[in-house]
Amino acid sequence: MKLHALTDEQYLSWERDGFLVMENFLTAEEIKKYDDGLDSVVKLWKERGSYNSEHAQLANVDQVSAIIEYDDLFVELMEHPRMMKTLRDLLGDAFVMIDNDGLLKYPQQKAHTSWHRDTGNDLYVNGTRIPFMVKVFYFLADVPYDGGCLSFLPGSHKMRNDQLPKVGEPEDMPGHVRMNVKAGTAVAFHGSTYHSALNNFSSRTRRSVIYNYAPMFLRTWPGYEPSEALQAKASTRMRQMLLGMLPWMSDPKAFEE
Ligand SMILES: O=C(O)CCC(=O)C(=O)O
Ligand SMILES: [Fe+2]
């Protein structure tokens, strides 16, 4: 298989674990730009009444659903060139963005999810299993070990629903791996990977921006459909593809601009 961004080792660890941690993915300049942008967007979101899609209600966090509608900075991050090549390795030549959020998890807040997989659906194309979706987290500040980490059960994307352990507190999951990562780290995970947010016992706010990508025949989640204004401004094939505006099953040209 020809890889466009990942090393063989990264691809094998993705296959084995169902998630991939990419340290130093963003430069210091990018971290600052997007982190400042996140603060401005959250302020604007509050001024507009903290509206969220009814399909996007997480407890114990500030969740700006459809963050790309608030600031073009987050449209730009949606199509980060190296991440697009990475997703090409994970999803193939054509994919769409199906949801996107800014997420602030404040100190001393309970976990905002329990253990779950985002989808129980398996998808096969030409006999090969491909992810139903790949979710990407960008962490814009360091996340301490007890700072409400996104956590995974490695290899769980290959487990049946009835094999997935149930626990009381999210920290009790045997064998879980925490994303206590440095600012600038990007994490991608398979839609079937068992994951949870943990409790934030620390004094730090977890600051993340999330994009969910899926094969092009999936539709954008309700509440995340790109506005007409955003579509009208989408002049590149990459952006049109991500916003679900292109009919093609495969468009390698989108990666050439
Ligand atoms: O924010 C987290 O740590 C987990 C949220 C989650 O379950 C998700 O984005 O699918
Ligand atoms: Fe989830």
Question: From CA 186, how far away is CA 42, in angstroms rounded?
Answer: 21
Residue nearest to atom 5 of ligand 1 (CA): 197
Mean of all residue pLDDT scores within the chain: 94
Q: Is the CB of 188 under 6 A from ligand 1?
A: no
In CATH, what number is assigned to the domain containing residue 18?
A: 2.60.120.620
The per-residue pLDDT for range 138-168, each reduced to its tens digit, is: 999 999 999 999 999 999 999 999 999 999 9
Residue nearest to ligand 1 atom 4, measured at CA: 197
Q: State residue 52's pLDDT score.
A: 79
Residue 2 forms part of a structural domain: no
Q: What pLDDT band is residue 255 in, cutting at 50, 70 and 90?
A: confident
Burial class (CB in 10 A: 0-12, 13-18, 19+), 187: buried
Per DSSP, what are the bridge partners of residue 195? 116, 152
113 lines ligand 1 (CB under 6 A): yes
Query: Which tens digit of pLDDT belongs to each residue from 236-247?
Result: 999 999 999 987
Asked if residue 98 belongs to a domain, the reply is yes
Q: What is the model's pLDDT at position 112?
A: 86
Residue 3 lies in a domain: no
Domains in the chain, number = 1
By most ligand atoms within 8 Å of CB, the mutation choice from 109, 138, 196, 209 for ligand 1 is: 196
Q: Whole-angstrom Cα distance, residue 9 to residue 52?
A: 39
**Residue 50 forms part of a structural domain:** yes
What pLDDT, on the 0 to 100 scale, is given for residue 187? 98
Ligand in closest contact with the CA of 111: 1
Q: Would residue 155 count as lying in a domain?
A: yes
Residue 43's CB: how many other CB atoms inside 10 A? 11
- Is the Cβ atom of 157 under 6 angstroms away from ligand 1? no
Q: Exposed (0-12), middle (13-18) or buried (19+): which is 176, by Cβ within 10 Å?
A: buried
pLDDT of residue 56: 64
Q: Does residue 220 form part of some domain?
A: yes
Domain that residue 242 falls in: 8-255
What pLDDT does residue 248 have? 67
Residues 37-78: pLDDT tens digits? Answer: 999 999 999 998 887 776 666 778 899 999 999 999 999 999
Atom of ligand 1 nearest to the CA of 103: 1
188 belongs to a structural domain: yes
Q: Is residue 133 part of a domain?
A: yes
- DSSP alpha helix (H) spans, 93-236: 228-233
